[in-house]
Amino acid sequence: MNRLTSLVLKTAVLTIATCGVAFYGVKKNYLEASSHREAPLIAEDPVADNTDVYAFRSPDDPNTVTILADYIPLENPQDGPNYHTFGENVRYEVHIKNNATTKGDDVTYRFTFTQTNEDPTTFFNIRLGKQNLKTTYLCEKSVNGGAFTSIVTGGVVPPNNIGPRSIENPDVGLGKYYEQLMKASIMTASSGEKIFCGPVDDPFFVDLGGIFDLGGVRPGRALDGVACKNTHTIALQIPINMLQKNGQPVSQAKNILDGDYVIGVWASSSRPRIKTLNNEGAKPTVSGDWVQISRLGMPLTNEVIEPIGRKDQYNFHTPYNENPGLDSALSNPELGLYMDDSKFGLYVPGFYPLRIQRASQTVLGPVDFGYGRDGLFPILGNPATIGTALDPAIFGNILLKKGQPRSVDILPIFFTGVPNLAPYQLATGKTPGNPLTAGKPFVNNFLPTLGDMLRLNMATPVTDRHSAAFSSEGLFAAAVSGLTDPQYANTSMQFIPNMDGFPNGRRLEDDVVRIELQAVSGLALAAIGIWYDDWAPGKSPLTPKLLNVVGFTTGVEKNDKPLQDVFPFAAQPHRGTSACGGYSPGKAPDSLGLAMQPAQQSALRLSAPQGFLSQNYPNPFTSATTFTYHLASKAHVTLAVYDLNGKLIKVLVDDTRDAGDYEQTFNPGSLATGTYFGSLKVDGQAVQSVKMNYAK
């Protein structure tokens, strides 16, 4: 057993054998680690740290696009007396590319911030209507590489949402509701854009603790590591004609996938090269050229795709002189090692539903997308590729590379966008087993700059956020509808709900962690007709392996606060005096999903029974399978097996047990092949379920 295998296995065993995170009795900063802090150097400079970029067609005004660039990770709402704010001596920029034939940005927005102490005699941030570290900004705009011109001067940044005495109280505070402060801070630029800069609830959501514990995904007991955290956003709502390369409004688009309406968006921050500290407590002085120290386009590129040795280097590059090696990392992502049973997949059970295709059957022969394999490279130059995106005369030499199996799907998603050409059309209407035949159009955000950007087709209509069809699965939800809903069973160009979702732009609601993990497993390949290994001609493509990937969850699928329906859409920042500002002795924070009855709260504070369930692997199992669970204290345990319809199959345990570790074996007997669930309850509370796939 090599060192990495041993390390992963030991970590998995320790995770199973321990109780995990208690809800009470923990340090206040138990959620402090984050993918937001994506590189060693920028982690030391949080005010300049990009956390997320969003770009979507505005649901409150479809003639505009909304872009949000978030900075400053994991702000605690109670972090006084010096609350988080945009930094001075930092140049924040939002970059837009709309023409692949030009050099550099086609539109750039630049923000610089200034702080004022209105009352330096107090340690409070707000007192008697005055605000310390009151922040204002200058916004400048450059078009087609031209000079920057001012479009907002004296822009207002609302204060942090400190508490009711500081904000609402008219005698000692500002005498305003926080909603009023946010609305008053929305500026209209001289060029017509709406702009908001200020603190908001961080709309990102992810089980940070589980994901970064060597892929320890833990549905049923996952915690949103960004819940109760704020961030600072730069939000712009921009008329589409200002972003379209020829100045055309969206009403002139030829169709809902018009390639002339594709933009690429990324954000950055820069600092002066030289900073001189003053030994008498005065502000430091700065000089020299501006140096870019952080950037972000697609989510999780630097956090997950780039290895630790290149993370700092990534932040100093741009999409126009891309970080060397990033294309190879995208074409052969490390995550593939943990979704492949021939590598380390067996030792990362949280990813078990996500299996890399190793023997996909196509009319062009079996295809292997395993780590370091060739993927579709063997068909390079095949006459069947002529006229498709894989034609060597078009993009075949970029999309088909030896030893880089994901150059055909992960690479274009991050580096070029996806064109409306075969094979990048839905399998609906295609010859089974032949992804190169024409299918149903569902995406075109192709902008071939060969650099990391968030790409959006502004012609694609908006999905109603309150519609039952709206899904945080974004473009994958559109693909599922296009493959299974009879109203889309044709090869016509139709709007399918969620075609405006990630990775065609990024909405605040989109579950990018789940989508990207599913993509690495190969869900995008399946959508275009490269089915999973358990498919064969004549069978339904909805095989157990594909359904496992479609049904995969990390356990955290939405933000902890409802979003706003109007610009800037992000929710108001958490208040420093709310449950998110610390732990009340009588109530757990609702935003963490832990709202409980008083008796349960009391029990949990007294180290109530908690059980965490695991199952032996590999899965599917063919004979007996063993469940492992841990009790923190004496409790009544119920462990049972159910089928997909919730029908009880067998009760394995239903009695009171002392604290400790337990194993329980389940013998399938005459059980039919299929999917089942092992469900654990402790003192009547549902704790966790694990999926079991049984194959005779």
Q: How far apart are CA 628 and CA 612, in angstroms?
A: 8
Confidence of residue 630 (pLDDT cuts 50, 70, 90): confident
Q: Higher model confidence: residue 219 or residue 293?
A: 293
pLDDT in tens, 126-155: 999 999 889 999 999 999 999 999 999 999
The Cα-based distances of 538 to 346, 429, 435, 440 in angstroms read 30, 15, 16, 21
Q: Token match 């003639």: residue?
A: 63
515/214: higher pLDDT = 515
pLDDT of residue 604: 27
Least confident residue range of 100-114, 134-148, 299-313, 440-454: 299-313
pLDDT, residue 2, reads: 38
Confidence band of 278 (pLDDT split at 50, 70, 90): confident
Query: What local confidence, expressed as pLDDT, does residue 616 receive?
Result: 57
CA-CA distance, 313 to 310, in Å (whole number)? Answer: 5
What pLDDT is recorded for position 692?
82
Separation of alpha carbons 163 and 236, rounded Å? 27
Residue 34 pLDDT: 34
**Which of 3 and 113 is assigned the larger pLDDT?**
113
- pLDDT at residue 579 tops 80: yes
The whole-angstrom separation of Cα 122 and Cα 400 is 64
Least confident span in 106-110, 184-188, 200-204, 652-656? 652-656
Measured at the CA of 49, the angle between CA 269 and CA 102, to 5 degrees, comes to 35
More confident residue, 621 or 162: 162
- The answer to whether the bond into 461 is cis (omega within 30° of 0) is no
Residue in this structure with the two tokens 């649901």, named with its chain if needed: 59
pLDDT tens-digit readout, 469-491? 999 999 999 999 999 999 999 99
Rounded average pLDDT over 639-666 = 84
Q: Is the pLDDT of residue 273 over 80?
A: yes
With contact defined as beta carbons under 8 Å apart, do 202 and 233 qualify? no
Q: Using one digit for the tens of pLDDT, what is the confidence trace for 26-57?
A: 233 322 323 467 778 888 899 999 999 999 99
Question: Who wins on pLDDT, 619 or 537?
Answer: 537
Q: What is the mean pLDDT of the chain?
A: 87
For residue 212, name the pLDDT band (cuts at 50, 70, 90).
confident
Measured between alpha carbons, how far is 463 from 357 in angstroms, rounded to an integer? 31
Q: What percent of the chain has pLDDT over 90?
A: 69
- State the pLDDT confidence band at 109, using cuts at 50, 70 and 90: very high
Report the distance separating Cα 170 and Cα 126, nearest Å: 12
Token pair of 261 as six digits: 């309406």
Is the peptide bond prior to 423 cis by the omega test (within 30 degrees of 0)?
yes
3-state secondary structure 170-185: CCCCCCCCHHHHHHHC
Neighbouring C-beta atoms of residue 479, cutoff 10 Å: 26
CA–CA gap between residue 223 and residue 210 (Å, rounded): 8
Of 129-143, 214-228, 673-687, the least confident: 673-687
pLDDT at 668: 87
Residue 221 binned pLDDT confidence (cut-offs 50, 70, 90): confident
Mean pLDDT score, 240-266? 98
**pLDDT (0 to 100) of residue 642:** 84
Percentage of residues in the chain with pLDDT exceeding 70?
89
Longest CA span, the chain: 80
Per the DSSP assignment, residues forming a β-bridge with 134 are 116
- Which of 159-173, 232-246, 632-646 has the least mean pLDDT? 632-646
Task: Check whether 241 has a pLDDT greater than 80.
Answer: yes
Which helix or strand (DSSP H or E) is residue 525 part of? Answer: helix 523-527
Q: What is the structure's pLDDT at 591?
A: 28
Partners of 637 in beta bridges: 655, 682
The whole-number average pLDDT for the span 76-85 is 93
Q: How far is CA 354 from CA 7, 10, 136, 481, in A?
A: 21, 21, 47, 21
What pLDDT sits at residue 612? 53
Residue 24 has pLDDT above 50, yes or no: no
pTM exceeding the 0.95 threshold for the entire prediction: no
- Tell me: cis bond preceding 486? Omega within 30 of 0 counts: no
What are the φ/ψ torsions at residue 3 (nearest 5 degrees)? -65, -40
- The pLDDT tens digits for 597-614 are 333 332 222 223 345 565
- Nearest Cα to Cα of residue 111 among 92, 85, 135: 92
Which pLDDT belongs to residue 613? 61
